[in-house]
């Protein structure tokens, strides 16, 4: 009989985003119910320094509303989104003890002061919510991990990358602050997996939704698979 490969974590990308509105409490709850081991979400800081869960820098794509998250207060965001944009704290309170969390910190166009303020607020929210040990804090910006590690040397941090060049640069100095690397699926190769595993790093590729992508990731021994459909991945892994 063919040996069974270790089961990777099922990581729900923006919740059960294939069927429900992304980054909403409903999508996260449905993801947990579908078998997700971890939920991935994106966070930003509102004008009044509240950590909100939203991928985009504005409300236009999802809600057809004007306004940048960073320039709107929480009350304004709630009004323009119909209450669909949750606070990070609300998600943690609803799902603490039921799943693990993968928080992507969005820092594009932020200066150092604004970036540090966002990271500090995120970490304090995780700490106050009692989930800092069960949460991966990741970003395309390697300085996020540096800042988080400055707040807690034992923090679980990740570096997200979409281009091979970012990985080559990262090997020089950026991996010193992370436990995990989260590459785009097109970067997933046996050579990369072995190189990262040799450094003791976890591997969480994104976003894998086809049978071929899932099979490759499982064969390579990744630690988790980021997917838009956690229910399909759970059923597939049960049969793999």
Residue 120 falls in which region: left (phi positive, over 0), alpha (psi -120 to 50) or beta: alpha
* Per-residue pLDDT tens digits for 63-106: 999 999 999 999 999 999 999 999 999 999 999 999 999 999 99
**CA–CA gap between residue 28 and residue 13 (Å, rounded):** 9
Residue by residue, pLDDT tens for the chain (240 residues) are 445 568 999 999 999 999 999 999 999 999 999 999 999 999 999 999 999 999 999 999 999 999 999 999 999 999 999 999 999 999 999 999 999 999 999 999 999 999 999 999 999 999 999 999 999 999 999 999 999 999 999 999 999 999 887 776 555 456 778 999 999 999 999 988 998 888 889 999 999 999 999 999 999 999 999 999 999 999 999 998
Question: Which 3-state string (H, E, C) describes the chain?
Answer: CCCCCCCCEEEEECCCCCCCCCCCHHHHHHHHHCCCCEEEEEEEECCCCCEEECCCCECHHHHCCCCEHHHCCHHHHHHHHCCCCCEHHHHHHHHECCEEEEEEECCCCCCHHHHHHHHHHHHHHHHHCCCHHHEEEEECCHHHHHHHHHHCCCCCEEEEECCHHHHHHHHHHHHHHCCEEEEEHHHCCHHHHHHHHHCCCEECCECCCCHHHHHHHHHHCCCEEEECCHHHHHHHHHHC
Question: What pLDDT shows up at residue 117?
Answer: 98
pLDDT of residue 163: 86
Distance CA 56, CA 190 (A): 32
Q: How many whole angstroms separate alpha carbon 134 and alpha carbon 16?
A: 20
Nearest CA to 90 out of 43, 139, 30, 56 is that of: 43
Per-residue pLDDT tens for 214-238?
Answer: 999 999 999 999 999 999 999 999 9
Closest CA to 226 of 15, 25, 32, 6: 15
The first and second tokens of residue 233, run together, are: 């991945």
């Amino acid at each position: 009989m063919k040996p069974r490969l270790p089961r990777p974590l099922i990581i729900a990308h923006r919740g059960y985003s294939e069927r429900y509105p992304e980054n909403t409490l409903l999508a996260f709850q449905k993801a947990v119910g579908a078998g997700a081991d971890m939920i991935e979400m994106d966070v930003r800081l509102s004008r009044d320094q509240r950590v909100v869960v939203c991928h985009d820098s504005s409300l236009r794509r999802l809600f057809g509303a004007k306004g940048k998250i960073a320039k709107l207060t929480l009350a304004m965001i709630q009004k323009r989104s119909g209450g669909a944009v949750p606070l990070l704290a609300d998600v943690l309170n609803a799902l603490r003890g039921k799943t693990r969390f993968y928080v992507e910190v969005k820092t594009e166009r932020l200066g150092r002061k604004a970036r540090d303020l966002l990271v500090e607020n995120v970490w304090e929210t995780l700490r106050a919510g009692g989930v800092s040990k069960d949460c991966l804090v990741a970003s395309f910006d390697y300085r996020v991990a540096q800042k988080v590690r400055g707040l807690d040397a034992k923090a679980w941090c990740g570096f997200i990358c979409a281009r091979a060049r970012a990985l080559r640069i990262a090997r020089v100095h950026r991996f010193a602050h992370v436990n995990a690397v989260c590459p785009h699926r097109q970067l997933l190769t046996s050579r990369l997996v072995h190189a990262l595993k040799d450094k003791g790093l976890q591997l969480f590729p994104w976003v894998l939704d086809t049978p071929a992508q899932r099979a490759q990731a499982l064969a390579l021994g990744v630690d988790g698979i980021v997917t838009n459909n956690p229910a399909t991945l759970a059923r597939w892994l049960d049969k793999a």
